A and B are shown apart, each in its own frame.
Chain A
Amino acid sequence: MINALPPATLLILGALPLLFLKGKAKGIWLLILPVISFFNLLAIPVGSHWTFGFLGFEVVLGKVDKLSLIFGYIFHIIAFISNLYAWHVDDRVQNISGTIYAGAALGVTFAGDLFSLFVFWEMLTISATFLVLARRTPKAIAAGARYFMVHVAGGLCLLAGIIIHVQQTGSAAFGYIGLESLGSYLIFIGVGVNCAWPFLHSWLVDAYPEATITGTIFLSAFTTKTAIYFLARAFPGTEILIWIGVAMAGFPIFYAVIENDLRRVLAYSLINQVGFMVVGIGIGTHLAINGAVAHAFNDILFKGLLFMTMGAVMYRTGKINATDLGGLYKSMPLTCTFCIVGAASISAFPLFSGFVSKSMVMEAAAHGNLRFVWFVLLFASAGVFHHAGIKIPFFAFFSHDSGLRCKEAPKHMLLAMGITAFLCIFIGSFPNFLYAHLPFATEYAPYSASHVIAQTQLLFFSALAFALLLLSGIYPAEIRSVNLDADLIYRKGGPWIYRACDKAFNGINDFGNKVFAQKVPELLARFFSDPARNVQQHIVRLSAEATGDNSKIDRRFQKIAHRTTTNAYPIGGGVFLAVVFLAVMSLFYFN
């Protein structure tokens, strides 16, 4: 028995006191909580812990190995940094959902079975939705609702897959799954929603820029990275992931170039970076998986840093569109510096964190002789420098002077950004601290002369292209606009589907109403008002049609009407019917 709690419990249960705490006490609690939880994690030895039976399956709340541990570490680090950055936020909805969200990510990471994993997976969706809704603008509420719908659909897909998979294999253990049966495909797609695969990605660029300033820092860290963890555990070496990753690394950079909202630019570049990780998992060699995991670790830090600097700009100026910003290096010099550190890290400059992880994936692709993949990734490397590395700092802090004058970011924000910036440079300069915790032993050395010079040339000439395009006026001016993306399908398609459903289902309803509520009862009512007469008249009509003799029909109708209204049937008729009835009954009973 070990003296620790399951990794997710402290953060999730630690959200409860937030219902009562206020002011400084609440802020301190939010800072201490990730630290306690981190030491709790350190106290858990490698292995499977907290296992118990549930419906005949084994639930495991603490599957601890190198792969889950490194995600556990970075999730704690970013939870602490995000809470520090959000020190000023006095909004219970955000405080509580942020903490639960981080706890849920830990729950997924250390789940050893698919059932508890699914519970934490859904907890991620719900808590993340509140981080979007908490901004409380109409746009944010709409985006939050769309976020929720997309993730619920993805979650259901995952659940269906899990049920089929467990049914087929008889085991709920969370380990290698691989693409084999229907169940595994459904799991694969369900995870793909959270991983922001092409066409399943638009929730990310839709919701993240609409979330609260501090909420986006949490959001950028957990949902996509838990999906990466899931893929690394369950689908390493699945070839189709290479192509999905290539698409993810490629297409968002084009959008990022023309996007005006700088947080949305970062959201696109988030997909681009996750693409590198997905490629690594698809390649599946030890070097590639190490690269994917290391890049996830670094991306959480530098993407968080970039979102934090843009959040600070937004916090101080209230603006986030490139068209409204510029010249802020004078007002916010420290934020500007941190932004440049983040930009250098995401662009993989030597001595910055992106350099030591992105290159592992590139090299793994080269070793596998994946030429096309390698070329696209190199293109994406140049492109990411272009849109995230230059565009973000340039349009926010330099470019034309927007005339905005504001104070430097608050101290706690600066501290959070400073810690993150330090980590980016530290990992970039001393990568062995990170490499020692990767899932597989590695002797990878990023700092060779060839590699450093090649990367520096690539980046300098990308910058040269930016400078020349800007000076010549070819670089696209920022324009206030909306750029259509895959969410068009449900944002514009939604109303069409609504209209189609309206026509179809209300049509059926109308038809049903006319036929079953009006016509049929009317007919029945007419018939049963005088059934005997109607039956007789019908028979007379049929026989008249059959014989072609219409001459006596009116007289017969009158006779029938007279007989039925006065009940003037001959007694013999009644007796005859009774006999026939009894004869039929006897056939049924005595046969």
Chain B
Amino acid sequence: MKQVNVPNDKPGIFDNPRNVKRLLVTFFTLTGLMLLIDVFYHKHAIFHWEEYFGFYAVYGFVACVILVIISKYILRPLVMRKEDYYD
């Protein structure tokens, strides 16, 4: 992508790779902590499977992976056409 340099174009915080890395590390740590919380509190659930350790975490992760895989490898080949398909 062509970079257009405007005068006084200050680099944003995410132009520094170190900041991106910091953000990712913080995020991964928080995610780990979220999972750990599961051990320490008593769940009020309607369905019994909601009480399994990490049910929501695993479901959220798997759901999104499946979503992306199906969209990319099944739906896209089926429905994607060139931009001028209808013209």
Footprint of B on A, CB under 8 Å?
253-255, 257-258, 326-327, 329-330, 363, 366-367, 371, 374, 378-379, 382-383, 386, 398, 400-405, 448-450, 453-467, 469, 474-476, 479-485, 491-492
Instruction: Please state if A465 and B43 are interface contacts (CB–CB under 8 Å).
Output: no
Interface string of B1-37 (1 = CB under 8 A from A): 1111010011010110000000010011011001101
A residues less than 8 Å from B85 (CB atoms)? 482, 484
- Select one of B4, B75, B83 contacting A405, CB under 8 A: B4
* In the complex, chain B residues whose CB is within 8 Å of the CB of A476: 68, 71-72, 76
Give chain B's interface residues, CB within 8 Å of chain A: 1-4, 6, 9-10, 12, 14-15, 24, 27-28, 30-31, 34-35, 37-38, 41, 43-47, 50, 54-61, 63-65, 67-72, 75-76, 78-86
Interface pair B41/A254, CB less than 8 Å apart:
no
Min CB–CB distance A343 → chain B (angstroms) = 15
B68–A469 touching, CB < 8 Å: yes
Chain A residues whose C-beta falls within 8 Å of the C-beta of B68 in the assembled complex: 257, 386, 465, 469, 474-476
Give which listed residue, A254, A454, A460, A467, contacts B71 with CB less than 8 A. A254
Q: Is the CB of B71 within 8 A of A258?
A: yes
Tell me which of B3, B50, B57, B71 contacts A461 (CB under 8 A): B57
Q: Are B79 and A484 in contact (CB under 8 A)?
A: yes
Would A403 and B4 count as touching, CB distance under 8 A?
Answer: yes
Cβ contacts under 8 Å, B63 to chain A: 378-379, 382-383, 462, 465
Contacts of B59 in A (CB 8 A): 378-379, 382, 458, 461
Q: Is the CB of A366 within 8 A of B46?
A: yes
Per CB-CB distance, the 5 closest pairs between chain A and chain B, nearest first, are A465-B64, A461-B60, A257-B71, A458-B60, A366-B46
A-B contact pairs, 9 of them (CB 8 A): A379-B63, A382-B64, A382-B67, A454-B43, A457-B56, A458-B57, A463-B31, A464-B27, A469-B68
Contact of B41 among A449, A475, A481 (CB under 8 A): A449
Q: Is the CB of A474 within 8 A of B38?
A: no
* Identity of the chain B residue whose Cβ is nearest the Cβ of A484 in the assembled complex: B79
Main secondary structure of the interface of A (DSSP, over half): helix
Residues of B within 8 A of A464 (CB): 27-28, 31, 61
Given A257-B71, A374-B47, A481-B80, do A465 and B2 touch, yes or no (CB 8 Å)? no
Q: A453-B41, A457-B38 are in contact. Are A330 and B12 (CB under 8 A)?
A: yes
> Which residue, A258, A378, A448, A457, has most C-beta atoms of chain B within 10 A?
A457
Query: Do B14 and A457 touch (CB < 8 A)?
Result: no
Nearest B residue to A470 via CB reads B68
Which of A386, A450, A459, A479 is within 8 Å of B43, CB to CB? A450
Residues of chain B lying within 8 A (CB to CB) of residue A448: 44
Given contacts A405-B4, A457-B38, contact A465 B82 (CB under 8 A): no
Q: Closest Cβ of chain B: how far from A185's Cβ, in Å? A: 30
Question: Is A401 in contact with B61, judged by CB distance below 8 angstroms?
Answer: no
Q: Is the CB of A330 within 8 A of B31?
A: no
Closest CB-CB distance, B87 to chain A, in whole Å? 9
Known: A403-B1, A465-B60, A465-B64. 19 other contacts (CB 8 A): A254-B70, A258-B76, A327-B12, A363-B46, A378-B59, A379-B67, A382-B67, A386-B68, A458-B60, A459-B60, A461-B34, A461-B61, A462-B61, A464-B27, A465-B61, A474-B69, A476-B76, A483-B80, A484-B79
Q: For B58, list chain A residues within 8 Å (CB).
A: 461
| Known interface pairs A461-B31, A465-B64; A484-B50 also in contact (CB < 8 Å) | no
Which residues of B have CB within 8 Å of A382?
59-60, 63-64, 67
Task: State A560–B50 Cα separation when bound (angstroms).
Answer: 105
Residues in A neighbouring B71, C-beta threshold 8 A = 254-255, 257-258, 476
Cα(A383)–Cα(B71), bound, Å: 11
A404 and B6 alpha carbons, distance in the complex (Å): 10
Are B79 and A485 interface neighbours, CB within 8 A? yes
A463–B27 contact, CB under 8 A? yes
Q: Whole-angstrom distance between the alpha carbons of A482 and B34 in the complex? A: 39
The CA-CA distance from A254 to B3 in the complex, in Å, is 32
Interface contact A469-B65, CB-CB below 8 Å: yes
B43 closest partner in A (C-beta) = A450
Instruction: Given A474-B72, A475-B68, verify A457-B60 contact (CB < 8 Å).
Output: yes
Alpha-carbon separation in the docked complex, A460 to B56 (Å): 10
Q: Which residues of B contact A255 (CB under 8 A)?
A: 71, 75, 79
Is A467's CB under 8 angstroms from B27's CB? yes
CB within 8 A of A491: which of B12, B31, B86?
Answer: B86
CA distance A367 to B47 in the complex (A): 9
- Contact check, B3 vs A403: say whether CB atoms are below 8 A apart: yes
